[in-house]
Amino acid sequence: MKTTRFFTRPYIIIIMLYIASIINYLDRAAISLSMVYISKDISISVFEKGMVFSAFSLGYLPFNFLGGFLSDKISPQKLFGICILLWSILSGLTGATVSLWQLLVIRFLFGMSEGPLSSNVNKIVNNIFNNKESVTWVSIVDSATPIGTALAGILIPALAMKFSWRISFIVIMILGLIWSGLWKFVFREFDELDSEKLDKRNLLSNNKQKFKISKQQANLFIGITSCYFLYNLLLYFLISWFPVYLVKVKTLNPSDLMILESLPWLFGSSAMLIGGIFARKLTLKNTSLNSKYLKMIRFCLICSSVSTILLGLVRVYWEIFVLITLCVVALYFTGGLYWGVINETFSAQKVGTMGGMMHGFANLATILGPLVVGTIVQTTGQYITAFSFIGLIGIILLIFSKFLLRETKD
């Protein structure tokens, strides 16, 4: 699809997706930043905190698969809009819970509504931009997620202290509902004929082609999925348990907590943008893209794994700040590259399904990670063991992925 002006339809979609990503990660961070207040209000144990973090992922994971599959079959734009609407309502209901079981059920349903979002973003971007550009635009959209986390680090503690932890989820619901109305308006004002034609062409191609995957594609898929599993393991640990650690163990004052929960994520947003632009430079050089992407991913993940181990050992505030910034920046630099590997490896007719499968398998980390960390902390009474465990798992997974992909070449 050709565009001649900035405010033509494809760029409006990118702006809308960018804003949706910010709102989305406001809630992701809000639940962990509010957990200290929630645990006092509802009275839940350390292990039960892990259950709450994992309840979201239990609903989220199966709908990663389903959402990716559906994005190849129906309009991903319409599916995305429906999911955001449901997600917004459930965010508001989170602030209305009065018991652990209510919280678990609502966060489970919330995960279901959010499950299709990432694969649908990739599918939408892949539809409106050519394959060589898609990784850059996905990186731009995803660079909004750490901004959401950073804003949450400032807004959520302030709202919780001045009003109540419940207010923050009501605010997020209102933002989501406003976005949903604008999204509907955009697609009422702009003709969807081109998108619908593209969806029909993809569906027709799917009907003519058998869904076959070569051994090389399968190996690459397993390798990139294991890397994305580690990405989610590290990222969700930093979003879920790390703020709890800062409050409970480091007993940081609100101003110091706001800095640690905002500035590193803003740097992470810049890193993801730079990573997307760098990936675009690689496409212009016609290099072996998957090979280059994988080298960048592994290097950044080893930096994040080592930083996570060291985070459990340092005591000085500025050391914590440096390490968390390094960890977040290294992670987010690769944020769009996983989707780039999928887009480079599989045809447009398979991108949604394979992206959903990668996202689903990788998000097992967001279920297992919080539960394992909660068990370790409750059993040992120490967070250092949990930091070391997460970092060592990362190193093991990187060795595994390197062994699996040693014969994979573009």
Distances (CA, A) of 212 to 73, 97, 349, 354: 17, 46, 12, 12
Instruction: Map tokens 């996570």 to a residue.
Output: 308
pTM: 0.72
Residue 352 · residue 219 · CB < 8 Å: no
For residues 242 and 234, give the distance between their C-alpha atoms in angstroms, rounded to a whole number. 10
Q: Which two tokens stand for residue 177?
A: 């509902």
Residue 361 · residue 342 · CB < 8 Å: no
According to the model, what pLDDT value does residue 189 have?
Answer: 52
Instruction: Map tokens 């459990």 to a residue.
Output: 312
According to the model, what pLDDT value does residue 290 have?
Answer: 61
Instruction: Map tokens 């968390």 to a residue.
Output: 324
Q: Is 271 in a helix, a strand, or coil?
A: helix
For residues 205 and 219, give the distance between their C-alpha atoms in angstroms, rounded to a whole number. 24
According to the model, what pLDDT value does residue 193 have?
Answer: 40
Q: Is 19 in a helix, a strand, or coil?
A: helix
Instruction: Please report the DSSP string for 356-394 in residue order.
Output: HHHHHHHTTHHHHHHHHHHHHHHHHS-SHHHHHHHHHHH
CB atoms within 10 A of CB 193: 8
According to the model, what pLDDT value does residue 132 have?
Answer: 63
Instruction: Please report the DSSP string for 26-89 in residue order.
Output: HHHHHHHHTHHHHIIIII--HHHHHHHHHHHHHHHHHHHHHHHHHHTTS-HHHHHHHHHHHHHH
Distances (CA, A) of 166 to 85, 104, 331, 360: 19, 15, 30, 30
Q: Which two tokens stand for residue 140?
A: 């731009």
According to the model, what pLDDT value does residue 75 have?
Answer: 74
Tens digit of pLDDT at every position of the chain (410 positions): 444 444 456 778 888 888 888 888 787 777 777 777 777 777 777 777 777 877 887 888 788 777 777 777 777 778 888 888 888 898 888 888 888 888 888 888 888 888 778 777 777 887 777 666 777 777 788 778 777 877 777 777 777 777 877 888 888 899 989 998 888 777 665 544 444 444 444 444 444 445 566 777 777 788 888 888 888 888 888 877 777 777 777 777 767 777 777 788 888 888 888 887 777 666 555 555 566 777 788 888 888 888 888 887 887 888 888 888 998 898 888 877 887 777 777 776 777 777 778 878 887 887 777 778 878 877 887 778 888 888 888 888 777 766 656 544 44
Q: What domains lie within the chain, and their CATH numbers?
A: 9-404 (1.20.1250.20)
Least Cα distance to 391 among 293, 308, 276, 317 occurs for 308
Least Cα distance to 124 among 168, 160, 78 occurs for 78
What element of type H or E holds 195? helix 193-208
According to the model, what pLDDT value does residue 282 have?
Answer: 63
Residue 147 · residue 22 · CB < 8 Å: yes
C-alpha angle 352-357-358 in degrees, rounded to nearest 5 = 100
Which 3-state string (H, E, C) describes 279-323? HHHHHHCCCCHHHHHHHHHHHHHHHHHHHHHHHCCCCCHHHHHHH
According to the model, what pLDDT value does residue 356 have?
Answer: 78
According to the model, what pLDDT value does residue 211 have?
Answer: 55
For residues 165 and 169, give the distance between their C-alpha atoms in angstroms, rounded to a whole number. 8
Distances (CA, A) of 37 to 156, 169, 170, 259, 340: 11, 13, 16, 19, 39
According to the model, what pLDDT value does residue 197 have?
Answer: 46
According to the model, what pLDDT value does residue 182 have?
Answer: 87
Q: Which two tokens stand for residue 172?
A: 């997020």
For residues 210 and 103, give the distance between their C-alpha atoms in angstroms, rounded to a whole number. 43
For residues 359 and 340, give the distance between their C-alpha atoms in angstroms, rounded to a whole number. 13
